[in-house]
């Protein structure tokens, strides 16, 4: 345990800041050109992890973060859009946070802590899965995968509305001046301000930055005017050089070959290039705005005399978002019907819809390979910063760590025992690393596995076994030595057959241990999500489209009759 008292209000408070879809080099401390001074300052006075891993999408990561258990034991092994019939009635695959596991808030509640959360939850909205039922005293949360940042509205046709909740009650309206990062920070400050001052607290600020739609106040976005005019290839190279210079990755790190299907910057039309540049500027502004509001929260805690005794954790839930929504014409039609604009002149502001697409995503993840939804390091290796009482100014921490390690770390720091009757925590406490007693909590023979809808990985020592599925993977198993090749540029599966066989055996043991249910042959997550989007779109607007179609046919038929009549 860290050097903190075992009881009373002197036990450390805990603040977790969860960023959404932030790539490995998106924060300033990790080599970014984006201004994130408040999070960079935390890294400077604490521990900055360079080998921390999560799931390739948000919900499984959040389930593991909150419980310390593998996602296949929590009820949420994948996104709700990717739940297959084989999961029906299977333990650990319920589609929401099950009651077999306990959250860190439940564990800490039993130890006398009070807990608060604002922002994205995405672990269920039932009476047993909302945070109000899982140890949180106050909560203002979004249970959809995302939402608009300016208004109370959905961002995908898959949802008829954005699922916002305060405690057990659905939220129907937002204030007129709502902006997600600002509002969620203010609400968390209000919750902490109303707490019992004689008890320590856990506070979770779960921001929507940088989930699509990318949106940010102009004052932040305009600071990046012209910064990205050279394109994504240049930025990807810049980020790689910065990561090497900072010591985040070895000098031997090479960029992996880009996946098939990405666009060539030089071949873009003028309009495509303008939109790409504007979207990247909005992404930068959105992240800087998030850092600004995190800074407001830290300043408020400092003014209250609480910051010195508050442990702060900052992480992302997965790698950068790759989706290019308007590639699907039906989605473009849905955006237009919702009143969303793609106009570059005011992109990022109210009623606009920006996104970076897979090309900019490779730059956000650089020098790592691939991005969100895939098992390449770019989808799984993300920033983690820990600072506060008892944490040494460690600088860079290069030892492997995994998202399930956060929960046992916090319980260790708080002097809290896990609840005995719940699913065991499988992660390991990072306290030895945070206090400088060890460089890593995993030995060379310790294997850590991951699976989400066929996206699979196993880490052991310097080695990684990995399989990425479509749209940008091919379902083939590959082997990499991450100590020299974190960019996954050189597949060693053929040259190291014994290591490959051993890793495959360890992965099979992992699947059996946690209860992985394989996806069907030929499963394509992107196609499934698109199909569900089509279905939702037709469910909502099918009758109108049929009516329009009949009207068009009637007009065409009437015109044809008129022409034939005149010819006669």
Residues with a known catalytic role: 58, 122
Give the CA distances from residue 228 to residues 259, 321, 372, in Å, rounded to whole numbers and listed in that order.
Answer: 22, 18, 21
The answer to whether the CB of 311 falls within 8 A of the CB of 435 is no
Neighbour-count burial of 551, counting CB atoms closer than 10 A to its CB (0-12 exposed, 13-18 middle, 19+ buried): exposed
The answer to whether the CB of 312 falls within 8 A of the CB of 301 is no
Q: In whole angstroms, give the CA distance from residue 163 to residue 143.
A: 5
Calculate helix-pair angle for 58-67, 406-414, nearest 10 degrees: 30
Asked if the bond preceding 379 is cis, omega within 30° of 0, the reply is: no
The answer to whether the CB of 25 falls within 8 A of the CB of 365 is yes
Give the CA distances from residue 162 to residues 154, 185, 204, 521, in Å, rounded to whole numbers and listed in that order.
Answer: 5, 19, 20, 33
Look at residues 302, 247, 289, 259 and name the one whose alpha carbon lies nearest to residue 13.
302
* 266: phi then psi, degrees, rounded to nearest 5: -70, -15
With tokens 């203002």, the residue in question is 140
Q: In whole angstroms, give the CA distance from residue 325 to residue 213.
A: 10
Which residues are within 8 A (CB) of 139 and not within 5 positions of it... i.e. 6 or more apart?
116, 117, 118, 121, 130, 131, 132, 165, 166, 167
Report the SS3 class of residue 481.
Answer: strand
Asked if the bond preceding 471 is cis, omega within 30° of 0, the reply is: yes
Which residues are within 8 A (CB) of 58 and not within 5 positions of it... i.e. 6 or more apart?
20, 21, 79, 120, 122, 145, 211, 317, 318
108 is written with which tokens?
């800490």
Helix, strand and coil percent figures for the chain, each rounded to 5 = 40, 15, 45
Q: In whole angstroms, give the CA distance from residue 516 to residue 447.
A: 16
Which residues are within 8 A (CB) of 115 and not within 5 positions of it... i.e. 6 or more apart?
105, 108, 109, 135, 136, 137, 201, 202, 203, 204
Look at residues 88, 100, 80 and name the one whose alpha carbon lies nearest to residue 514.
100
Give the CA distances from residue 220 to residues 5, 225, 283, 555, in Å, rounded to whole numbers and listed in that order.
Answer: 41, 10, 10, 49
């Amino acid at each position: 345990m860290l050097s903190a008292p075992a009881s009373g209000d002197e036990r450390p408070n805990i603040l977790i800041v969860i960023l959404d879809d932030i790539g490995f080099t998106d924060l300033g401390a990790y080599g970014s050109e984006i201004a994130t001074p408040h999070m960079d300052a935390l890294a400077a006075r604490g521990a900055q992890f360079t080998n921390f891993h999560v799931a390739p999408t948000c919900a499984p990561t959040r389930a593991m973060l909150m419980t310390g258990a593998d996602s296949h034991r929590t009820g949420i092994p994948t996104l709700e859009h990717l739940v297959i019939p084989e999961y029906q009635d299977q333990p650990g695959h319920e589609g929401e946070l099950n009651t077999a596991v306990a959250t860190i808030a439940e564990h800490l509640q039993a130890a006398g802590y009070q807990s608060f959360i604002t922002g994205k939850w995405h672990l269920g909205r039932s009476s047993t899965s909302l945070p109000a039922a899982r140890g949180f005293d106050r909560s203002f949360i979004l249970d959809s995968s995302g939402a608009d940042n300016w208004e109370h509205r959905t961002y995908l046709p898959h949802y008829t509305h954005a699922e916002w909740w305060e405690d057990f009650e659905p939220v129907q309206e937002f204030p007129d001046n709502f902006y997600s990062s600002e509002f969620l920070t203010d609400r968390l400050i209000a919750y902490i301000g109303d707490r019992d001052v004689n008890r320590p607290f856990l506070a979770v600020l779960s921001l929507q930055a940088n989930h699509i739609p990318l949106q940010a106040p102009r004052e932040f976005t305009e600071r990046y005017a012209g910064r990205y005019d050279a394109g994504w290839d240049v930025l990807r190279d810049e980020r790689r050089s910065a990561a090497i210079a900072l010591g985040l990755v070895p000098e031997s790190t090479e960029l992996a070959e880009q996946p098939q299907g990405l666009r060539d910057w030089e071949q873009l039309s003028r309009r495509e290039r303008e939109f790409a540049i504007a979207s990247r500027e909005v992404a930068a502004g959105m992240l800087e705005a998030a850092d600004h509001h995190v800074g407001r929260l830290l300043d408020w805690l400092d003014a209250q005399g609480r910051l010195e005794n508050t442990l702060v954790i900052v992480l992302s839930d997965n790698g950068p978002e790759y989706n290019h929504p308007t590639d699907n014409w039906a989605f473009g039609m849905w955006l237009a019907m919702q009143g969303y604009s793609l106009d570059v002149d005011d992109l990022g502001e109210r009623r606009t819809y920006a996104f970076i697409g897979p090309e900019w995503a490779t730059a956000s993840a650089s020098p790592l390979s691939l991005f969100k939804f895939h098992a390449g390091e770019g989808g799984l290796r993300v920033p983690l910063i820990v600072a506060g009482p008892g944490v040494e100014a460690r600088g860079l921490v290069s030892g492997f760590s995994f998202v399930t390690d956060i929960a046992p770390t916090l319980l260790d720091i708080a002097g809290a025992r896990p609840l005995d009757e719940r699913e065991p925590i499988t992660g390991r406490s990072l306290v030895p690393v945070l206090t400088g007693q060890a460089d890593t909590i995993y030995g060379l023979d310790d294997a850590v596995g991951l699976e989400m809808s066929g996206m699979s990985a196993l880490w052991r020592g310097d080695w990684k076994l990995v399989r990425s599925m479509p749209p940008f993977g091919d379902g083939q198993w590959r082997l990499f030595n991450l100590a020299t090749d974190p960019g996954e540029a050189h597949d060693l599966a053929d040259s190291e057959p014994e290591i490959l066989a051993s890793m495959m055996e360890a992965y099979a043991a992992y699947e059996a241990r946690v209860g992985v249910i394989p996806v069907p042959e030929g499963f394509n997550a992107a196609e499934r999500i698109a199909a569900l989007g089509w279905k939702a779109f037709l469910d909502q607007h099918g009758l109108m489209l049929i009516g329009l179609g009949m009207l068009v046919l009637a007009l065409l038929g009437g015109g044809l009759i008129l022409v034939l009549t005149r010819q006669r």
